[in-house]
Amino acid sequence: MGSYALLPSNLVEIQSSNISGFSYCQPEKKRLGVGKTFCSAAIQTSTCDENLAIAPSHVAEEKIGVLLLNLGGPETLNDVQPFLFNLFADPDIIRLPMLFRFLQRPLAQLISKLRAPKSKEGYASIGGGSPLRKITDEQANALKLALEAKKKNVSVYVAMRYWYPFTEEAVQQIKKDKVTRLVVLPLYPQFSISTTGSSLRVLENIFRKDAYLSHLPIAIIQSWYQREGYVKSMADLIEKELQSFSMPDEVMIFFSAHGVPVSYVENAGDPYKDQMEDCIFLIMRELKSRGINNDHTLAYQSRVGPVQWLKPYTDEVLVELGEKGVKSLLAVPVSFVSEHIETLEEIDMEYKELALESGIENWGRVPALNCNSSFINDLADAVAEALPSATAMSTSTAEEVDNDPVKYFIKLFFGSLLAFVLLLSPKMILAFKNSLL
């Protein structure tokens, strides 16, 4: 997709005590019991009066809120192109230098128009839309019930980055409910500036402009892949699926994670790659403690655009494993906690077909965690542990400025190159003309 955005250093620094003005909490790991699975009701959000601006400290009754952050997804085929537009209009997804920032929306329109037909085919193959909102709502309700079982009376809100309910809707509901303390919980186990980072940037912009929200004590659980409950939940699912093979000991455990551009890691300091590798290590260590010593590997999926993404690529590794004689493979979607297009279509259909064509005879796939009881209980504990650290965001509004002229020139050059390549390519020109008709 070209040149990508850089977040302020305090947003990507793992050891920082705050993120974009928000207090940051990395909850302690804690052993949990297995509870009941909750997946029945859904939490709804709605818009409300924008004039509410009563500082939380003036509210007598404490009201705790939990804000779940997720990507969002088109619920119908007609939603696909506008969803893609929202995705590619995000400067944390496609970064253009300030001089070319005016091209952000036109480029997003062109790219979304080009990608929509293929994306519609993918969503049509899984029922005509993404199940992500439904599953996230179910997770929100399950988390609420799990927290109530721990004597925590909370309201749980869902904020999607690129589709309904948008972050702004969830925040307005938080204001309407007069929440006095808020825990922000991204539904991404590992931190990346393109997922958690992008959502936090939106939150920061909203909170800074609002008298009520700027005084609201808030804690952010930046990443939680290392939590014992998550690791054990993943190991449980893998152990169970291995038993579906006739010879479980010979199965290759194939971790497939969503990729990010290499520039995120090398230039912006994104900790995603390191956290992903650490996550795999922890899961495999847990499996080995159970006597499961299968071979494993990690690859990255869902790359788009001409730039280099994290390697190895999932499709290339599947072919290589087939050539090496691997006959049984268990795919593990490690960066996804909910079923959606990347698991149901990309892994279950595209990669399965490729694996079988490459000589792999026995294919299996670990389901996403969804409302797995031990997983939800661990998230509830993470929220409870984060609550005491909630503090109001900092009052500073100054944005960090990159004063390094060399870095600025590099960003300017590659951003300009991306802009001209996209705008002058025949397909882009054709798409742009068609969009005007």
* In 161-201, beta strands by DSSP E: 181-186
pLDDT-wise least confident of 58-67, 142-151, 359-368:
58-67
Strand-strand pairing, 18-19 and 181-186: unpaired
CA-CA distance, 161 to 188, in Å (whole number)? 13
Maximum mean pLDDT: which of 91-100, 322-331, 397-406: 322-331
Flag whether pLDDT at 33 surpasses 60.
Answer: no
Query: Do 221 and 266 have their domain in common?
Result: no
Give yes or no: residues 117 and 22 share one domain: yes
How is 251-278 classified by DSSP, letter by letter?
-EEEEEEE--BHHHHHHH---HHHHHHH
**276 found inside a domain:** yes
pLDDT of residue 305: 73
Inform me whether the pLDDT recorded for 18 exceeds 80: no
Q: Report in angstroms the alpha-carbon separations of 391 from 11, 101, 170, 221, 387.
A: 17, 34, 20, 13, 9
Tokens of 196: 């958690």
> How many beta carbons lie within 10 A of that of residue 387, not counting itself?
18
Min mean pLDDT across 4-18, 335-349, 378-392 is at 4-18
Please indicate, yes or no, whether residues 221 and 232 belong to a single structural domain of this protein. no
Q: How far apart are CA 17 and CA 361, in angstroms?
A: 49
Total of domains in the chain: 2
What is the extent of the structural domain holding 379?
9-225+373-389
Lowest mean pLDDT segment, chosen from 293-307, 313-327, 374-388, 420-434: 420-434
Looking at the structure, do residues 178 and 292 belong to the same domain, yes or no?
no
Q: What is the pLDDT of residue 357?
A: 98
Q: Are residues 182 and 37 in the same domain?
A: yes
The CATH number of residue 245's host domain is 3.40.50.1400
More confident call, 212 vs 7: 212
CA distances from 64 to 61, 182, 255 (A): 10, 6, 36
In a domain? residue 208: yes
Residues 218 and 233 reside in one and the same domain: no
Residue 30 lies in a domain: yes
Residue 418 lies in a domain: no
Q: pLDDT digits over 102-126, tens only?
A: 889 999 999 999 999 999 999 999 9
Does residue 328 sit in the same domain as residue 213?
A: no
In a domain, 237, yes or no: yes
208 shares its domain with 349: no
Q: What number of CA atoms fall less than 13 Å from residue 12's CA on the CB side?
A: 22
58 or 241: which leads in pLDDT: 241
Task: Give, in order, the Cα–Cα distances in Å from 234 to each of 68, 286, 329.
Answer: 20, 9, 17
As a whole number, mean pLDDT of residues 197-222 equals 95
Residues 168 and 71 in one domain: yes
Confirm whether 170 is domain-assigned: yes
Phi, psi of 165 (to 5 degrees): -80, 125
Amino acid at 94: I
Q: Does one domain contain both 175 and 239?
A: no
Nearest to 59 by CA among 217, 219, 220: 217
DSSP-based three-state secondary structure for 238: helix
Mean pLDDT of 241-250: 98
Helix pair angle (272-289, 228-242), 10° resolution: 60
Could you tell me if 116 and 157 lie in one domain?
yes
Residue 192 falls inside a structural domain: yes
Residues 179 and 240 in one domain: no
**The length of the chain, given as a count of residues:** 437
Alpha helices in 128-195 (DSSP H): 132-149, 167-176
Q: Considering the domain boundaries, does residue 401 fall inside one?
A: no
